[in-house]
Structure 1
Amino acid sequence: MHDVIRVIKSFVEQRAIGVLTLTNMPRVDILKVCAPTQLAPDIYRPVVSLILQGEKRLVIGSQVLRYTAGHTFIASIDVPVIGEIVQASASAPYLAVRLTFDRSVVADLLRDAQGLDETPDHRSFCVSQASEDLLDAWLRMLRLMERQDEIAVMAPLLEREILFRLLRGPQGAVLRQVASIDSRFSRIRKALDWIKANYSTALRVAHLANLANMSPSSFHRSFKASTGMSPLQYQKHLRLYEARRRLFADPGHVAGVALAVGYESLSQFTREYARMFGAPPARDVRGHSKNTRTDRAGR
C-alpha cells in the first residue's frame, strides 16, 4: 500500500501548481501546502479526499478529526469545518487529491451493485484508511492528466470505481446516505437545504422538525448526529462564514454585513465572530489584508 501512495505522491507533486491545482478531470483537484497553516473556515460539499503526505486537522462541531498519508476523508452533506494543516514543509509539503463527487453516480451504483449493506450510518463524515483497490483507482484517475483524449470516456468510469470502492469499505455507510430517499438522513437533508437557503432568517427547530416529518426531540438528536452540531450552531457557522467572506471582499461595513447575515445586535455579532475566528471583525479584516499584501510581496 505504501508503494502505491509513494507513486501517487510523486505523480501529484510534480504536477501541483500553487496551493490549489485544478486538473483536467471534472471535479478533481490537487492541494499542496508548504507550511503548517490555519485554513479559512469553509463549507465542505459532498467530497472525498485522499491524503498523500503531511497531516491535517478538522474541527466539525465538537468533533476533531486528524488524518495523515493513506487516509481518506469523506463528507456526504455540506459540512461547516475549521481546518488546519498540522504537518507540512517546503521539502515535504502537505499533499492531497480531492473529488467533489456526483450524487447521482452513487445512486446508480446502489441500484446496480449487489451485496451492499443498505443500513445507513447517522454520521455524515468520517476518516479511514484507504484500501489498495481504492488507491489503485485513484492512481489510474490521476494518470488521465497525461491522456487528454481518454478523459471524456475514462474519467466517469474511474469516478464510479472510486465511489464503488468506498461503498464497499468502512466508509460505505456514510456514502450511502447521499443517495438514500426514505431514510432519516434524507429528511435531515431537507432541513439542511432550508437552513442554507434561509440562513439569515430566524430559525425555529419546530419548523425544521416539521419539514423533516420528525418530532422536535428526535430531529434535534438526528441533526446533531449527522452534522456534529445543533441546528442553531449549523446556522451560526453559515452566517459567520458568509459574514467573513463579505468582509474580506468589502472591508469597512461591519454593521451592514452583520444585519445582512441575520444579526440584529452588532455586539452579539462581534462577540460570536471573535469567538469563532479569534479576533473581532475589524481586526480580523486588517490581519487578512496585511497577510495578503505580504504574500503578494513575497511572490
Structure 2
Amino acid sequence: MTMNAELTQQMALLAEGIAKLTQHTPFVKTAIPGLTVFRISETSEPLSGLYEPSVCLIAQGEKQVQLNEETFMYDTEHYLFSGLHLPVFARVVNATEDKPYLGLKLTFDYQEITQLMLENQIPAPQTKQSNRGMQTGKLTSQMISAFQRMIDLNSEEEAHIPTLAPMIRREIFYRLLVAEQGETLRNLASLGTPSNQMTKAITWLKANLFDNIRVETLADLANMSVSTFHHHFRNITAMTPLQYMKALRLQEARRMMLTEHLDSATAAFNVGYESPSQFGREYKRMFGNSPIKDVEQLRERFAVS
C-alpha cells in the first residue's frame, strides 16, 4: 500500500469515527478533555471566531481561515496549528449533506508542552525570532493514527479515559513538537523566548480585556521596549496590539448581543467602549453590518432565539 493510499484509508476511518460521534448533533465536546468534534453539512460564509491554542484536523472537507490579511487553507492532508488565542474569520469551503465537513480540535496549555519538552530533552529553538502563531503542517500516518485512537477511546468505557487519553495527548503533541512546523510550538513553549513572552502578555491582555490597557503595560509584562514588543506581537498575531484588542472586544460584544440578548449600547459599554457611535462604526467595519442587523441575521442563520 502506498503512503497516499494508506493516508486516504486512515482518513476514511477517522471520518467514520467523527461521523458516529456527531450523528445527533453537529458540535460535540467529547468526554476526552480538550477534544471537540464537528459536522457541517454546507459551505459557509466567513464567520468570526477566536481560535484557542489547539491543533485542528479535517477528516473530510476543507476549511479556510483568515488571520487579518493572511489566509490559511487546510484539508485532509494538512493540520492547522494555533499557538495562541487568535481572532479569525473562518469558513467551510467544501461540504454537502451527503459528504459533510468532519473535523476535530484538540486544545492544549503550555505547561504540558513545556513539561513534555523537558521530559524528552527536546531542545529549545536557537532563534530569537518570533514566528507566526498560526501554521499549517503536513499530516503523517503516525499523527492520524494517534487521533484515531483518541476518537476510538470515546466508544470505550469512560473509566479508561483518565489513564489512556493523557498518553495519546502526549504522543500527539510530541509529534507536533518534532514535526516540520514544530519550531513554532517549541518557541512558544520555551521560557524566555520572545514568543513565550508574547503568550504571557496576551494571557494578561485577555484577562483584562475590558480595562483601559496601554501597550506600554503589555511591553513591560514581556520585558521589552514598546518598539520590540510591537515587532514580535505583529510577527506572531499578524496584527498590532490595538488591532488585536479591538478584534477581541468586538467579538465579545457580538457574543453578548447574540447569546445574552444585550442591546448594542450595553454590549459596547461592557467591552470597554465609551462611545456607542465609535462602537457602531468599528463593528460595521469588522462584520459588514450594523450591530442590530448583524445579530438579526445571525439569529436567523443559526435559529438562535
Instruction: Please say whether Structure 1 and Structure 2 have the same fold, judged by a TM-score greater than 0.5.
Output: yes
Task: Give TM-score, length-normalised by structure 1.
Answer: 0.92
How far has the Cα of 1:118 moved from its partner? 2.6
Shift in Å at residue 108 of structure 1?
A: 1.8
Which of 14, 19, 22 aligns to 2:20? It is 14
The match for 2:80 is: 73
Report the CA distance between 1:105 and its aligned residue.
Answer: 2.2
Structure 2 residue 177 is matched with structure 1 residue 158: no
How many Å separate the matches in 2 of 1:158 and 1:35?
31
Closer, same or farther: CA 206–252 of 1 in aligned 2, 3 Å: closer
Per the alignment, residue 62 of structure 2 pairs with: 55
Describe the SS at the equivalent of 2:224. coil
Partner of 2:300: 290
Equivalences for residues 77-156 of structure 1 within 5 A? 77-114=84-121, 116=123, 118-119=125-126, 121-148=130-157, 149-156=159-166
TM-superposed CA distance for 1:117, in Å, is 5.5
Unaligned runs of 5+ in 2: 1-6
Residue segments in structure 1 that go unaligned for 5+ positions in a row: none
Task: Tell me: CA distance 1:108–1:245, structure 2 relative to 1, closer, same or farther (3 Å).
Answer: same
Deviations 1:134-181 (A, max 9, x none): 111111221112222422211110000000111110121122234221
Residue 244 of structure 1, CA deviation = 0.4
Residue-by-residue CA offset, 1:74-124 (whole Å, 9 max, x unaligned): 112111111111111011111112111243321121012245553465221
Contact in 2 for aligned 1:106/1:178 (Cα 8 Å):
no
Is the Cα–Cα contact under 8 Å of residues 57 and 75 in structure 2 kept in the other structure? no
How many positions carry a matched residue from both structures?
295
User: Mapping of 1:221-240 within 5 angstroms?
Assistant: 221-240=231-250
Structure 2 counterpart of 1:83, which letter? A
Q: CA shift at 1:252, angstroms?
A: 5.7
Distance in 2 (alpha carbons) for counterparts of 1:116 and 1:82: 34
Q: Is residue 256 from structure 1 mapped to residue 266 from structure 2 by the alignment? A: yes
Counterpart residue type for residue 156 of structure 1: P
CA distance in 2, matches of 1:114, 1:195: 31
Q: Matched residues in 1 for 2:217 and 2:109: separation? A: 30
The runs of at least 4 consecutive aligned structure 1 residues that moved more than 3 Å come to 114-117
Looking at structure 2, the residues matched to 21 and 252 of structure 1 have their Cα atoms a distance apart, in angstroms, of 27
| AA at the equivalent of 1:141 | M
